[in-house]
Amino acid sequence: MSDNKVSVVLGTQWGDEGKGKLVDILAKDTDVCVRCQGGNNAGHTIVVDGVKYAFHMLPSGLVNKECISVIGSGVVVHVPSFFKELEDLQTQGLDCDGRLFISDRCHLVFDFHQIVDGLKEGELGRGSIGTTKKGIGPAYSSKASRSGIRVHHLYHPAEFEKRLRTIVAARYRRYGDFGYDVEEELKRYQKLAERLRPFVIDSVEFLHKELRAGKRILVEGANALMLDLDFGTYPYVTSSNTGVGGVCTGLGIPPSKIGSVIGVAKAYTTRVGGGPFPSELLDDVGQKLRDVGAEYGVTTGRPRRCGWLDLVVLRYSTMINGYTSINLTKLDVLDVFDEIKVAVSYTINGKEVTSFPADLDDLATATVNYVTLPGWKQNISKCRNFAELPENCQKYVRFIEKDIGVPVQWIGVGAGREEMVAVGLAE
């Protein structure tokens, strides 16, 4: 039995931290890259040799042509989107044949889930969550209510038809007739099932065999801790567990098999959609962060909300996920600022708070307490080791490390794969 451990990459904030780039870098020394939760509501952009690859559902490890990629059981899959994303990557010259697999336990997202997603957001009005309307939440709702349809059901046509008719009828009773053609969908999925068949595996057995064989496994988290169903800014969250617990439940891997947990943190903070964002900047500084950082969603194209780095969020995220090291991304975006603020605590009802509160009504009254650090006003995109960074830039990194008690192992200084500073960790 091998003592091999799984490495995990997770988002520390509200997503869009740049996890895909680190996964791409680590994948060159990885045998298997795995997604454990979420769906095609996630979005990564990876730049390799000037070519931009957009990932939504598929593991970013596909960029490494020697790496096998697996969509684990905790992911919800819209099969037409799976094939569309795969075709787009192959059109760009990425050969994925024989090295992409999907768990037979994955729940399926159907077009009716996407329709219901939009209807539900419409009902919420101004209090809407701000979902991507990809049907992810309704699919997880089907799963939790035990009425969902999994990949393996595709290969039992009578059972598949029964389950699809039942679940659509239930949605009609809830939302009225929204014009979903069940007959056409049954025909469509009969063809899709056969097309999908070569990709389908028992991922639990596969991953444990790979572990026993000493293979290097890298887990790519989607979304981020502050969007976790239990620990995020509920109800303004996604519909899955985005923290380290979701790795175990989404893949069938025990905690004892998890080794390094790498947290990816943007050097400032962004968020897409509704929900609280204490350090958000609704002024020219926020717009400057958005413009310099090109903060627009990969999946939706929506402009991201921007603000200063929030160490209350990062501290809380670290407690829950137990990061062994941090990848600090997009530090170069801060090159243009004379001074940089960092949120270090909140004041709520006259009391200083250093951990993230559960109650959003309390959070809405919070005053954010900042520390102001000097900027460096230099282009750091050509730096390739820590010593080359300007002194004030180094101090910014060390300030973060000291506060959260976790070492920064990588620093992103540009969009390209090569624009990453590796920082040596103390033994």
Which residues carry out catalysis? 16, 44
- Identify the CA nearest to 75 among candidates 234, 223, 258, 186: 223
Separation between Cα atoms, residue 409 and residue 423, nearest integer Å = 5
- Identify the CA nearest to 21 among candidates 332, 380, 415, 323: 415
Separation between Cα atoms, residue 422 and residue 427, nearest integer Å = 15
Sign (positive or negative) of CA dihedral 298, 304, 307, 310: negative
Separation between Cα atoms, residue 335 and residue 243, nearest integer Å = 31
How is the chain split among helix, strand and coil, in percent rounded to 5?
40, 20, 40
- Identify the CA nearest to 40 among candidates 228, 298, 302, 272: 298
The answer to whether the peptide bond before residue 407 is cis (omega within 30 degrees of 0) is no
Are 216 and 32 within 8 A, CB to CB?
Answer: yes
- CA 396 to centroid of chain Cα atoms: 25
Phi, psi of 166 (to 5 degrees): -65, -45
**Measured distance between the N- and C-terminal CA atoms of the chain, rounded to whole angstroms:** 27
What residues does 51 pair with on adjacent strands? 48
- Identify the CA nearest to 163 among candidates 147, 152, 175: 147
